[in-house]
Amino acid sequence: MPTSRTRKDKALQHALDLLETVPLLDGHNDLPWVIRLDQTARGDVRAYDLTRVHPESDTDIPRLREGRVSAQVWAAYVPSAMEHPARTALEQIDLIHRLHEAHPDVFLPATKASDIARAKRQGKIASIVAVEGGVGLENSLAPLRLWHAAGARLLTLCHFGTLDWCDSATDAPRHGGLTAFGKQVVRELNRLGMMVDCSHVSAEVMHHALDVSTAPIVFSHSNARALCDHPRNVPDDVLERLRATRDGIVMATFVPDFTNDEVRMWMHPLREAFKRNTGGGWLAAIEAWEQTHGPRPKTTLEQVVGHIEYLAQKLGPARLGIGSDYFGVPTKPVGLMDVSRFPHLLAELIRRGWSDDAIAGIASQNFVRVWRAVEREGERLRRTTPPAIGMVQDYDTPASSA
């Protein structure tokens, strides 16, 4: 009789076999910010040396290979309280380009959906630029076109802080969603063929984005709020609307306090304290907190899969993806400690009866479909719609309208 270990190994081998032909895409990794903050590398990609295993962290080339990663969305992250956010956004986009230059045998710069399959054929990792934090616009529409020209294909509208035009999920709302300028940001992203990412935004912004966007929207690293009541997660009414729209995708994340309510409550004071943080210090803060409040509760791979299955019930399996947020937090779920563990996540879905087609969808095919739809809408709009220009004050006045 097969043992539990035998069944587990069989599921893992099934996942590995599937990933020989199906690309695996992760929707969010904060490695560029970690390289920026590293006290030795100080933003120098070559000095950081991704060719070696970094036991102190979770992402490097050997473990990306072990995890069968074929496509990675890298966050050009800009903290909400950062001085010179426009410059920071460009510096982080540049750092991602330097990843490509330092390791041309590993990374293939990806600016269109078809690049994911091309990278897989070449045995490389498609490298996709995402700007995380619309604060880098500095209230102007023009940087969107420069970011697009520099290869960015996704914008997370805001981060932990509310902006002059967009309410954050984790800050006091000021606008009841998107302002007129914020809605114009969405429209210009549609015109450019860049993905509108609603991770980090308030529920009202999610609804406004669904109202305004003529292209599918994405949640690059978010879970289900019904299972973990964190404002960063997607509420059921938004999931219902997303299912009723022409398309879209929610990419389940591994962040423990977006996955497990017990961890969320334990982490809440630290999240509040670090809301405006632009540097490191997470690990030291957690260690100090554990000294006075006891060990941090554990989150598991199985709990992440619970969110995936809930999202599948609400959205259908064709609107799901994976957005790990590796490097975004200092600790990970048991079983998902680093980027080598993606096949183990898929193996758990296989053990729960997911079909090969559904696994292929969540691995990358759903994201590719959405990206292609965004590209098509951009091509359509650029034939008839001129570039949007102006600043927040040109839209958000008493006389302006959405």
Mean pLDDT is lowest, of 26-35, 53-62, 262-271, for: 262-271
Rounded to 5 degrees, φ, ψ at 127 are -115, 115
The band of 280, judged by pLDDT with boundaries at 50, 70 and 90, is low
pLDDT in tens, 146-159: 999 999 999 999 99
Which residue stretches of 59-197 are H helix? 61-66, 85-102, 114-122, 142-149, 180-192
Q: Would you state the pLDDT for residue 279? A: 60
Positions marked active-site: 28, 30, 132, 159, 200, 221, 325
Q: Residue 331 pLDDT more than 80?
A: no
pLDDT in tens, 214-267: 999 999 999 999 999 999 999 999 999 999 988 999 999 999 999 999 999 888
Q: Would you state the pLDDT for residue 117? A: 98
Segment 198-211 shows an average pLDDT of: 98
Rounded to 5 degrees, φ, ψ at 40 are -90, -50
Q: Residue 402 pLDDT more than 80?
A: no
Q: Residue 228 CA to chain centroid, in angstroms?
A: 18
Which of the 8 DSSP states describes residue 245? S
Q: Residue 53 pLDDT more than 50?
A: yes
| Lookup: tokens for 368 | 């590719």
Question: How many Cβ atoms sit within 10 Å of the Cβ of residue 359?
Answer: 20
Q: Would you state the pLDDT for residue 277? A: 60
The band of 275, judged by pLDDT with boundaries at 50, 70 and 90, is low
Segment 351-373 shows an average pLDDT of: 98
Contacts of 185 (CB under 8 A, 6+ apart): 134, 137, 141, 144, 155, 157, 165, 166, 178
Segment 351-355 shows an average pLDDT of: 98
Query: For the chain, what percent of residues have pLDDT higher than 90?
Result: 86
Which of the 8 DSSP states describes residue 363? I
Q: Residue 3 pLDDT more than 70?
A: no
Output 174 or 328, whichever has higher pLDDT: 174
Query: For the chain, what percent of residues have pLDDT higher than 70?
Result: 93
| Lookup: tokens for 355 | 């079909």
Question: Angle at the Cα of 301 (from 65 to 364), degrees rounded to 5?
Answer: 50
Q: Residue 4 pLDDT more than 70?
A: no
Q: Would you state the pLDDT for residue 401? A: 44
Rounded to 5 degrees, φ, ψ at 79 are -60, 150
Distance CA 332, CA 329 (A): 7
Q: Would you state the pLDDT for residue 92? A: 98
Specify the pTM: 0.94
Residue 178's DSSP bridge partners are 166
Q: Would you state the pLDDT for residue 276? A: 61
CA atoms within 13 A on the CB side of 11: 22
Say if domain 22-395 classifies as CATH 3.40.50.300: no
Mean pLDDT is lowest, of 280-289, 318-327, 342-351, for: 280-289
The DSSP element (H or E) to which 75 belongs, if any, is strand 71-77
Average pLDDT score over the chain: 93
